[in-house]
Structure 1
C-alpha cells in the first residue's frame, strides 16, 4: 500500500509523537464506535444503499475504492492507526467477515441530526447501535467468542461527528441566515439525546467533534448564490453559522460534563484545525486550499455539480499534489493526516485529553 511519500511519513511520525502515553501502557484493546456523516464514513453508504463510489476515490492508500470519499484514509482511520488498531468496518457491511471486536462505524454519507427517522440520521444510527449491542451480548451470553462483551461496550470510546449536513441542507433550502441559526438548538438537542441515550446504554467515554468551516468548502462556494466572501475567500454567513453551532455544542459539552459526572466527554475544535489549515495552507505545504483536486471546471474551485469526482469527464490532480480539498466537500488524505495530527496534539481538545484515554 502506498502511503503518500516522505510528507506522509513525517506526518505519521508527528502522529506517533502526539500520543501522550505509550501504547505499551494500555490495559485494554481499543473499541471505538463512530456516529456521524461522510467525514467519518468508511463505506457505510456503499454497503447500506449499494451506492457506487468509483476510483479515483481510495487511490492513495488503499489502491481501490473502499466507499470512503477521499483519495485515501479519513481522519477516523488515522486516529484508529494511532491506537495501533485495525480500521473500523461499517456496521452495514454484510461481507466484511468481521465480528466487530474493535468496534463499529455507524457513520454514513449525508447523515444529519434531523429529520429524525430518515436513514441514516443520528437517531437511526443510535437505534442500530442498540440493536448491535443487544445482539452482541446475546451471542456472548450464549458462549460465542470474539464478540464485544458488556465490559467492552462500557470501556469503549463513543465518537460523534455530525452537524455539517444539518447546516448545509438548511442553506440549500434557501433559508435565510436568521432561519438557519434558529434551527441550531434543535440540532444540538439531537446530539444531547444521543449522548444521554448512549450513557443509558453504559457508555462513559465520549469524543465529540465540532463542525468545520462550511463556508470554505469548494462545493458550497461554487454553488452559493450570495457571495459574501471574507478575506480568505470563504462565505462569511456559512462560517458564522458553523461557529454558532460550535458554540452551542461547546456549551452542551460543558453541561453534559456537569450532569454525567461518571463520564468523560472531550470536545474537539475541528473548526479551529481546518480554518488554520486553510489560512496557512502554504506554510503547511499545501496549495490551492479552496480548489478541488478531483473535479471539473478549473479555477477558482474546479467544481462542477454535473461532473463530480469519479463521474464521466472528471479530472484529477497528480498523486503528489498538495491539495486540501479532494472533491469539494471532503479532504485529501494529506489534509486528513495533518488534521489527525492536530487532534492528537490535544491542543484543540477541551479538556486536554489524549485520544487513547479510554484505554487506561
Structure 2
C-alpha cells in the first residue's frame, strides 16, 4: 500500500515467546508450503501494489526502505514492506522457482528468465498514466516483451521466447489503494462504492490487453479487508466497528469491489474461451486470520510489530517503521501485521498456504497445474 505509511512495535513476555516456539513446532502440517516438481522453468509476471512489490519502489524511485524491513528471512532490506517474504515469494518457492526480480531493478543482473515483477508500492488502477498505475505496469510489460523477443531474434540466450510468454502465469493483485485513497479524500461510503466499477474495469482492460499480447493464464487476487488495517483504524473515526474491531464501511466497500471483480472474472471466462482465469478470495483468508488469530498462533492481530505509539494499534503516521524513533517487536513475535498496512512473514506464509490449498479459488485450479499444462 502507500509508501508514505509503514508501521509498529510491542514487547511480548516470555509466555508469548514460549507459545510462539510451540506454535512453530506444530505448523508443518498446517502452514507448510508444498513443493512441486515442474519440468520447465515457471514464468510469472506480477502486476499490483505493495502486497507484491519485491523491491520495485526502491529501484524505480530510489525510495529508501530501511531495516528492520527484511530482517527475518533476507537479513537485509530488499525493498519489501515486511520483515521477510511476501505471499508472492512463497508462491514462487512452492514451485521451486527463484524469487521474482523487480522489472525496474537495473543492477539485479537477472535475465528475467522466470518472469518479472511490475508491482510497485502505492499503485492503484486509477488515475491512469501515473507512476505506477496498473495501465503503466501493463505498458511496461508490453515494452519488456517486445524488447525480449527482439533480443531472442538476434540469438540471445536464456531469455523468454514467444511460447514462454504464452505459457507464463499473469498474476494481478491490485485495488486496495483505490478504495483506501477514496476514503482518505473524505468521500462518503456511497461515493466510494460508485467508483468501484471504474476500478474493476481497469483490471478487466489489463487482462484483455495481456490476452491480446498472448497471455492465457491469469491468477487474480481480490482485495483484503482494509478495514482491519491498523493504519486505517488509527487514522479513521472509530464508528461502526465490527465484532473484531475492524471498520465495517471499509470492509463493506472491499467486499463490493470483490463481488464486482468476481463477476468480471466470470464474464471474461466466457469471452476469452481459451484462457484460464482463476479468481482467488484473499479477503476471506485475511479476515479469517484476524477473526481467529489465536487459533492460528497469533496475538493482537490489529497491533503492528514495527512502528510507534503503543496499544491499541501501535501506529503513528509521524513515526513509521524504519524511520527515526520507531520501535520493533522481538523477532519471531506472533504478529499478523508488520507496519500498519502489510503483513509479517509468518502471516504471509499462512496466507500463501491457504491460496495454494485451492479452497479459496474459483475455479479450484491448483497453482502448479498452470505450469504443467
TM-score by length of 1: 0.95
Q: Secondary structure at the match of 1:206?
A: strand
Q: Secondary structure at the match of 1:57?
A: coil
2:316 matches 1:295: no
2:239 matches 1:222: no
Task: Report the equivalent of 1:36.
Answer: 48
Task: Describe the shift of the 1:130–1:17 C-alpha distance in structure 2 as closer, same or farther (beyond 3 A).
Answer: closer
Q: Any runs of at least 4 consecutive aligned residues in structure 1 with deviations exceeding 3 A, and if so which?
A: 4-19
1:231 aligned residue (243, 247, 257): 243
Query: For residues 275-314 of structure 1, what are the structure 2 equivalents within 5 Å?
Result: 275-314=287-326
1:269 aligned residue (251, 261, 281): 281
Task: Report the equivalent of 1:248.
Answer: 260
Using CA pairs under 8 Å that are at least 6 residues apart, name the structure with larger relative contact order, 1 or 2.
Answer: 2
1:99 aligned residue (101, 111, 128): 111
Contact 2:71 2:83 in 1 (8 A): yes
Task: Report the equivalent of 1:70.
Answer: 82
Give the Cα–Cα distance (whole angstroms) in 1 for the partners of residues 25 and 269 of structure 2: 37
Give the Cα–Cα distance (whole angstroms) in 2 for the partners of residues 79 and 9 of structure 1: 22
Task: Describe the shift of the 1:65–1:7 C-alpha distance in structure 2 as closer, same or farther (beyond 3 A).
Answer: farther
Task: Report the equivalent of 1:59.
Answer: 71
Structure 2 unmatched ranges of 5 or more: 1-19
The Cα offsets for residues 200-231 of structure 1, whole Å up to 9 and x where unpaired, read as 00000000000000100000000003522111
The Cα offsets for residues 297-346 of structure 1, whole Å up to 9 and x where unpaired, read as 00000000000000011011111210000000000000000000000000
2:211 aligned residue (187, 199, 207): 199
2:134 matches 1:122: yes
Task: Describe the shift of the 1:12–1:52 C-alpha distance in structure 2 as closer, same or farther (beyond 3 A).
Answer: farther
Give the Cα–Cα distance (whole angstroms) in 1 for the partners of residues 342 and 52 of structure 2: 10
Task: Report the equivalent of 1:356.
Answer: 368
Task: Report the equivalent of 2:342.
Answer: 330
Give the Cα–Cα distance (whole angstroms) in 1 for the partners of residues 30 and 303 of structure 2: 26
Contact 1:11 1:337 in 2 (8 A): no
Give the Cα–Cα distance (whole angstroms) in 2 for the partners of residues 12 and 224 of structure 1: 38
Give the Cα–Cα distance (whole angstroms) in 2 for the partners of residues 300 and 234 of structure 1: 12
Give the Cα–Cα distance (whole angstroms) in 2 for the partners of residues 138 and 5 of structure 1: 52
C-alpha deviation, 1:9, in angstroms = 7.4
C-alpha deviation, 1:17, in angstroms = 6.5
Task: Describe the shift of the 1:262–1:108 C-alpha distance in structure 2 as closer, same or farther (beyond 3 A).
Answer: same
Contact 2:33 2:90 in 1 (8 A): no
1:342 aligned residue (342, 354, 362): 354
Give the Cα–Cα distance (whole angstroms) in 1 for the partners of residues 244 and 367 of structure 2: 31
Aligned pairs, how many?
353
Contact 1:204 1:262 in 2 (8 A): yes
Task: Describe the shift of the 1:55–1:89 C-alpha distance in structure 2 as closer, same or farther (beyond 3 A).
Answer: same
C-alpha deviation, 1:72, in angstroms = 0.1
C-alpha deviation, 1:12, in angstroms = 6.1
Task: Report the equivalent of 2:175.
Answer: 163
Task: Describe the shift of the 1:15–1:327 C-alpha distance in structure 2 as closer, same or farther (beyond 3 A).
Answer: same
1:175 aligned residue (175, 184, 187): 187
Structure 1 unmatched ranges of 5 or more: none
The Cα offsets for residues 278-310 of structure 1, whole Å up to 9 and x where unpaired, read as 000001000000000001000000000000000
Q: Secondary structure at the match of 1:313?
A: coil
Give the Cα–Cα distance (whole angstroms) in 2 for the partners of residues 15 and 41 of structure 1: 23
Give the Cα–Cα distance (whole angstroms) in 2 for the partners of residues 348 and 266 of structure 1: 10
1:89 aligned residue (101, 109, 113): 101
TM-score by length of 2: 0.92
